Amino acid sequence: MNAETTTMNEQAVREPVLREVEMHLYRPNAPTTGTITRSERCTASGKAAGCVRHIEIDVSGTDLAGRCVPGQSIGVLAPGQDEKGRPHAVRLYSLASPTAGEDGKGQVISTTVKRTIDEHWDNHTLFLGVASNYLCDLQEGDKVQLTGPAGKRFVLPRDVDEHDYLFFATGTGIAPFRGMILDLIAAGCKSRITLIMGVPYATDLLYHSELLSIAEEHPNFSYITAISREQQEDVNDRLYVQDRLRTHKDQLLPQLSDERNLIYICGIAGMELGIFRQLARDLPPRDIEQYLRVDGEAMANIDAWDRKMLHKQIKTTRRIFLEVYA
């Protein structure tokens, strides 16, 4: 059977070999201590509606030093107790730092934290996220109890030059990709690296000037934004990340069709469905099959896809990496 007559289900998927990482060096019953060395707003403008902070933590002298890689999380133990009188459960935060850390020596790690501020749904009193507000309140020199690192599936491949990368982020979902992009650049990787970053307003873009300057210096890195509540600079429309597959078709479809390409998705739950739907609409069947396994009935009605169909009628191959949160 030649390539032309191979049916979709018989196609081989070029699976990546992931880098090996260390995990659970510290657990919640025996955490370690880090020291805050920097905390700064990392939105593109101080006028952004939400408060998101880039927080750096010195972990020198602990086993975390040099052992935290982008795509992994660290756990934070907020002091105090929950309403039932138990110590607060550990909260996981994605690392934003590259493997070499913020200091180039792996001694200073970082994360990207959005303050959770909301109303209780039942009585409309103020709800403040425990760990996010604790972390954002910390000052330089303050100590913080840490666990981790956690996670081994959402990381870069071992041989970074073997693949191209299409990263989709919304909001603080940018954290792992900032670290990964810095790792790829530091490794001298010449692969195609594309980041599509979605936020409500342009003022909310995170690490914006850093990403712009990486794009300026490295022609293989392309930084595309999707602003959901304002008109973009280039199109007269409000956009979600998946809409960039349409507006940047000429650039993105060849990258997606290349068997080297990997897709990483991180951010708000639901974004993955929109991306999968757009891939199913835009790619030729042979290419869809490299990322998604969709049963025949579902394929016939892409508009009817919903999240309940994920892992059942719609499955991902090992060329898609997914980390989404409610």
CB 57 within 8 A of CB 146: yes
| Cβ proximity to ligand A2P, 77 vs 241, nearer residue | 241
Name the residue nearer to ligand A2P (CB basis): 86 or 311: 311
Nearest distance from residue 201's CB to ligand A2P, in Å? 8
Question: Which residue is closest to ligand A2P by CB?
Answer: 171
Residue that is written with structure tokens 């280039």 in the block = 234
Least CB distance to ligand A2P at residue 306 (A): 11
For residues 157 and 200, which CB has a smaller minimum distance to ligand A2P in the complex? 200
Residue 254 vs 270, nearer CB to ligand A2P: 270
Q: Give the nearest distance from C-beta 222 to ligand A2P in angstroms.
A: 19
Q: What's the min distance (Å) between Cβ of 245 and ligand A2P?
A: 12
3-state secondary structure the chain: CCHHHCCHHHCCCCCCCECCCCCCCEECCECEEEEEEEEEECECCCCCCCCEEEEEEECCCCCCCCCCCECEEEEEECCCECCCCCECCCEEEEECCCCCCCCCCCCEEEEEEECCEEECCCCCCEEECHHHHHHHHCCCCCEEEEEEEECCCCCCECCHHHCEEEEEEEHHHHHHHHHHHHHHHHCCCCCCEEEEEEECCHHHCECHHHHHHHHHHCCCEEEEEEECCCCCCCCCCCCCHHHHHHHCHHHHHHHHHCCCEEEEEEEECCHHHHHHHHHHHHCCHHHHHHHEEECHHHHCCHHHCCHHHECCCEEECCCEEEEEEC
Q: Which is nearer to ligand A2P, 179 or 198 (CB)?
A: 198
Of 187 and 268, nearer to ligand A2P (C-beta) is 268
Query: Which residue, 185 or 268, has its beta carbon nearer to ligand A2P?
Result: 268
Which residues bind to ligand A2P, rule: CB under 6 A? Answer: 50, 170-171, 198-200, 204, 228-229, 240-241, 268, 270-271, 274
Residue 212 phi/psi, 5-degree rounding, is -60, -40
Q: How far is the CB of 204 from ligand A2P (least distance, A)?
A: 5
Min CB(247)–ligand A2P separation in Å? 14
Minimum distance between the CB of residue 273 and ligand A2P, rounded to whole angstroms? 7
Least distance from ligand A2P to the Cβ atom of residue 170, Å: 3
243-247 contacts, C-beta under 8 A, 24 or more apart? 243/278, 244/196, 245/275, 245/278, 245/279, 245/282, 246/278, 246/282
Q: Smallest distance from the beta carbon of 186 to ligand A2P, in angstroms?
A: 27
Q: 218 or 238, CB closer to ligand A2P?
A: 238
Of 53 and 163, nearer to ligand A2P (C-beta) is 53
Pairing of strands 292-294, 261-268: unpaired
